[in-house]
Amino acid sequence: MSRLETPIATGTPSSTSATRRIAHGNPRSFVALICLIMVTSVGCWEQWSVDWFPQMKWQKSVQAFERVGYGGRTEGFMPPEGTVPITGGEAEVSNIIDAASDVLVNPRPVTLESLSNGKAQYERYCETCHGMDGLGDGPISMTGSINGPLAGVLAVAGPASIARVRSDGHIYTTIRYGRRRMPGYSRILSSDRWDIVNYVRYINNPSGSLQ
């Protein structure tokens, strides 16, 4: 018996006989049949194109912090707002009960560094409504220079300053959670919020002492 006549596949007697006849009659047809079986067998081929029969293990995906160029942005995707770090998050404080916020103590000493950062954060987030000097006359306030759309923006400095009768903790929780029409700014870092508190205190009393 020649080598080509040796059975190479298992199956029904009829399929085995057909394979033997092909192998014995035309070796080239037999080789072509083997190649066809290898190519078309499920799970025995590798992906050669992302468009034709893509495999799951080679699917397109975005990895963490991968540069994607989405919307003109080249930096990696950052965690969504409100994500809690693995080291823990900031403890919740009630902004409804004044006593709960009044007991908060500002951990940031009043230094030039703190006031400088507080001023920068204030100009970024607060000046639009409360004004450069905290008089409630920002660009979108009706009392501002361009007569904005919002009425009743509270002053945080000057003779009518609401900050004069509020604790540091009250101002801090107002920045963090918002109050009444004022939106919350939880996206601002905790240390930056306290620096804003220091800056608000400073524009109420510029002659105050530094630490």
Helix then strand then coil, % of the chain, to nearest 5: 40, 0, 55
Which amino acid is present at 136? G
Q: What is the pLDDT of residues 24-41, one digit of tens each?
A: 666 777 777 777 776 665
193 has pLDDT over 60:
yes
Q: Greater confidence, 201 or 205?
A: 201
**Does 60 score more than 60 pLDDT?**
yes
More confident residue, 157 or 29: 157
Q: Would you list the domain boundaries of the chain? A: 1-40, 98-204
pLDDT digits (tens, 9 = 90+) for 98-133: 888 888 899 999 999 999 999 999 999 999 999 899
What kind of fold does domain 98-204 have according to CATH?
A: Cytochrome Bc1 Complex; Chain D, domain 2 (1.10.760)
What pLDDT shows up at residue 63?
Answer: 65
| Residue in the block written with tokens 């007697």 | 13
Rounded Cα gap, residues 193 and 107, in angstroms: 11
